[in-house]
């Protein structure tokens, strides 16, 4: 894969301003594309686009193929005649500004989108919709059915005051195990609700492709993101149980996580079901090939989260309360990527190669010429400051060209938030590295500049770092629930002076030269 020297911004659509409750892929997204173009940038990196559930994490969605209905823009549906002006008016508890309150947004917005879908269906046959259903049938049928059954049993569980109930521990056994008669009966009795789920996906894909085409026309490429693992509470697992390490009742045998390390004495227990790689190999990794192909239809570059899990993954027995008692198990390694390459050719895949990276992981990455990640927040550890020179792999002078540099990621504090909490020793290293007595308030700007200057082929910055926003701008704190994924930019961040500064630095360091 050959990449052009570029830079851009990390911002999930949910963080866009100016729409009720949550950012959307509507007019404000087009405005952001225009701002990126004004700023001379050519990359817009986003988080996973799938429908989010409990915890609101885009990394634990109900489907790896589907789009998040909450990102659908209601004004566009109104302009198309599927919603009246009255129907798109938010209640008083939904605010235009401020962080996303996911519970309130779901409570208000989902019924409105379903109303639009009903209006759409009442208008009669739509050729574009019929083509969409045919093109995406391989996942859409299962997803629409899963969501329709899930809504029924989620409501039932809430009425019974039962929480944490999934398809594998609450649905009737014949539905949970996808018995043909039970599935056929459900489809027959719930045809309209299933079709509504398909329409909602049609709305999302239509709006998203229009936005992507606009971004591409402005010389801006979309960098997408897929987690290596999928959520247990997903159509992916329910409809493909033989592809996962599950018991006969659909409950997991082992789950995903990472081992204890410097950051956590008990590791991280993610809880995702693990793949049955032997079963996947038997059908030529068909599910993974379909996943990559689908994602590439939505974005221009695909960042795979937790890339190291393809070489070996941390397997934790189901039921454990921590990740301590896991073990490393060999993954599909080169075999999977050879199959993907054979089926789809050389695709623009980017590797999130953070964490415990062995020589075998590096070989997998490098044998397929996949760029890896560098994060500046990890560069200034005083414990790694050697007397014979600074060799921390995250320092810019240690980079290779085939790498991506970030000031921070969605899981980090903002760069300003990190600097505000940094030790005096870390601040001294930063000052030395920047070559002067730089004030803390100016360090983020200078760190962005040296990232731009580095040889890394891509330089990407969270929008929060462009404006030196403190810890209040943090997107996610791993292993916590609540107050995550909710940050939203303000209208004032469509700033012309900041755009000019970005454009100047991009050109100074030979990035985005075609813009």
Residues carrying an active site annotation: 305, 352, 411
Which DSSP string do the residues of 345-409 spell out, in sequence order?
A: -S--EEE---SS--HHHHHHHHHTT--EEEEGGGS--GGG--TT----TTSGGG--SSEEEES--
**Rounded CA gap, 133 and 320, in Å?**
41
Looking at the DSSP bridge assignments, the partners of residue 254 are 317
The side-by-side arrangement of strands in the sheet containing 301-305 is: 349-351, 301-305, 221-227, 43-45, 6-10, 458-462, 403-406, 372-375
Looking at the DSSP bridge assignments, the partners of residue 330 are 312
**Rounded CA gap, 326 and 329, in Å?**
9
By the 8 A CB rule, do 70 and 105 touch? yes
**Rounded CA gap, 458 and 452, in Å?**
9
Is 461 in a helix, a strand, or coil? strand
**Rounded CA gap, 265 and 366, in Å?**
31
**Rounded CA gap, 471 and 334, in Å?**
40
**Rounded CA gap, 398 and 186, in Å?**
58
By the 8 A CB rule, do 260 and 323 touch? yes
Cβ-in-10-Å burial (0-12, 13-18, 19+) of 14 comes to: buried
28's tokens: 């404000």
| Location of structure tokens 């709305």 | 203
205's tokens: 């894909």
**Rounded CA gap, 433 and 3, in Å?**
28
| Nearest C-alpha neighbor of 416 from the set 433, 430, 435, 400 | 430
- Check residue 35 and give left, alpha or beta (phi > 0: left; psi -120 to 50: alpha): alpha
263's tokens: 């950051």
Q: Indicate the angle between helix axes 191-217 and 127-135, nearest 10 degrees.
A: 90
């Amino acid at each position: 894969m050959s990449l052009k020297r570029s830079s851009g911004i990390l911002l999930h659509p949910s963080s866009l301003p100016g729409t009720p409750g949550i950012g959307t892929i509507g007019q404000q997204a087009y405005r952001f594309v225009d701002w990126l173009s004004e700023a001379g940038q050519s990359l817009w990196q986003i988080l996973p686009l799938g429908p989010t559930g409990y915890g609101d994490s885009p990394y634990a969605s109900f489907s790896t193929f589907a789009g998040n209905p909450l990102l659908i823009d209601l004004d566009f549906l109104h302009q198309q005649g599927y919603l009246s002006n009255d129907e798109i008016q938010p209640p008083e508890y939904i605010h235009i500004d401020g962080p996303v309150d996911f519970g309130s947004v779901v409570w208000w917005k989902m019924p409105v989108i379903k109303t639009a879908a009903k209006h759409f269906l009442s208008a009669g046959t739509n050729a574009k919709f019929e083509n969409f259903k045919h093109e995406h049938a391989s996942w859409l049928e299962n997803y629409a059915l899963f969501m329709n059954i899930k809504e029924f049993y989620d409501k039932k569980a809430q009425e019974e005051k039962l929480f944490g109930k999934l398809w594998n521990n609450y649905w009737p056994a014949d539905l949970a195990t996808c018995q043909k008669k039970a599935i056929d009966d459900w489809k027959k009795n719930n045809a309209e609700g299933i079709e509504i789920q398909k329409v909602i996906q049609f709305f999302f894909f239509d709006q998203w492709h229009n936005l992507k085409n606009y971004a591409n026309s402005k010389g801006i490429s979309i960098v997408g993101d897929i987690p290596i693992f999928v959520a247990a509470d997903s159509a992916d697992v329910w409809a493909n149980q033989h592809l996962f390490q599950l018991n006969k009742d659909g409950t997991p045998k082992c789950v995903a996580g990472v081992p204890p390390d410097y950051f956590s004495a008990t590791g991280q227990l993610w809880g995702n079901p693990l793949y049955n790689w032997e079963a996947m190999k038997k059908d030529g990794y068909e599910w993974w090939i379909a996943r990559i192909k689908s994602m590439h239809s939505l974005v221009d570059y695909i960042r795979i989260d937790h890339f190291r899990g393809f070489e070996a993954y941390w397997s934790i027995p189901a039921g454990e309360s921590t990740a301590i008692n896991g073990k490393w198990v060999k993954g599909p390694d080169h075999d999977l990527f050879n199959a993907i390459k054979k089926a789809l050719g050389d695709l623009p895949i980017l590797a999130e190669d953070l964490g415990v990276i062995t020589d075998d992981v590096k070989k997998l990455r490098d044998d397929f010429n996949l760029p890896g990640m560098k994060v500046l927040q990890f560069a200034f550890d005083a414990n790694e400051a050697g007397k014979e020179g600074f060799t921390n792999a995250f320092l810019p002078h240690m980079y290779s060209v085939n790498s991506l540099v970030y000031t921070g990621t969605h899981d980090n504090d903002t760069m300003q938030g990190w600097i505000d909490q940094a030790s005096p020793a870390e601040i001294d290293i930063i000052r030395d590295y920047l070559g002067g007595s730089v004030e803390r308030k100016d360090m983020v700007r200078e760190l962005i500049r040296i990232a731009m200057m580095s040889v890394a082929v891509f330089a990407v910055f969270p929008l929060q770092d462009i404006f030196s926003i403190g810890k209040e701008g943090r997107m996610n704190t791993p292993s916590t629930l609540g107050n995550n994924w909710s940050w939203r930019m303000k209208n004032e961040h469509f700033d012309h002076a900041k755009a000019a500064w970005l454009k100047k630095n991009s050109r100074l360091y030979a990035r985005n030269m075609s813009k």
